[in-house]
Amino acid sequence: MQDILRRSMNRIVERFKQLRAAGQKGLIAYIGAGDPDLTATRDLALAFDRVGVDILELGVPFSDPLADGLVNQLAAQRGLASGTTPAGVLETVAAIRRESQVPIVLYLYFNLMHRMGPERFIERAHAAGVDGLLVLDLPPDEDEGYEAAMRAAGLCPIYLVAPTTPESRMAAIARRASGFVYYISREGVTGMRDQLADNLSMMTARIRAHTDLPIAIGFGISTPEQARAAAAWGDAVVVGSAIVHRIGQLGRSPDLVPQVSAFVRALVRAVKSG
């Protein structure tokens, strides 16, 4: 009963309930934590909340980010260069929580959890105010107690579905996911693209056949126009590289937060107006 109560109070779950009740789609914004430093990460997170971002996805910098394209690889390098550690990211989440209740997902690689110990990392993430984990290289059938620890902490395990995912595998992932299903709309790594994939309607319909969870569409969505179009098929849209690219260009400029948040505001408006 305690697990059910904690899970029902999860901010991701609650945000999607609010969006559905309002007949709206959500925007999930990704940034690399510690890029250019953790103070900027906190300031960007609070600004994103003010402009209407529904969920914040924080990439925990890692030395070998295999699922990421060049833009996010460079962000991870900048995060590592600024001295960002998993513990520092959790401290930053706790600082964000003192001023904001925006749902937060950590996007990370399993080595970072393994080094601290998965159960300890999950408990510390919960205590800091994290709502979900997207562990890129942890297959759902090799979790070794990960999902049980996540349930006990009230966190959502977020899983990925790709265009190449077989139907049986898609069904298994949908059964084990919580919060939302993250649909990778393109094969390959993260990165900006000139146009959307042309099979969003078919793929989201396939996923919906297996779950009532919200579907977030990501990978390659780079402009407000693309975000609006993707929102027609998903419950939320994930934009990462296009935001991270702007952070990389601006660096420690005093214009970093206002300029990046202005772009994110345009994304929010596009998704909500669709």
Return d(Cα 219, Cα 191) in angstroms, integer.
Answer: 6
Beta carbons of 206 and 236 less than 8 angstroms apart? no
Whether 57 is a known active-site residue: answer yes
DSSP H or E run through 213: none
Beta carbons of 85 and 63 less than 8 angstroms apart? no
The residues that bridge with 207 in the sheet, in sequence order, are: none
DSSP H or E run through 56: strand 55-59
What angle do helix axes 256-273 and 224-231 make, rounded to 10 degrees?
A: 30
Catalytic residue among 35, 68, 131, 235: 68
Whether 37 is a known active-site residue: answer no
Catalytic residue among 35, 37, 49, 57: 57
Return d(Cα 148, Cα 165) in angstroms, integer.
Answer: 24
Question: Which stretches of the chain are DSSP H helices?
Answer: 2-8, 11-22, 38-51, 70-81, 86-97, 110-116, 118-128, 146-153, 167-176, 200-208, 224-231, 241-250, 256-273
Active site residues: 57, 68
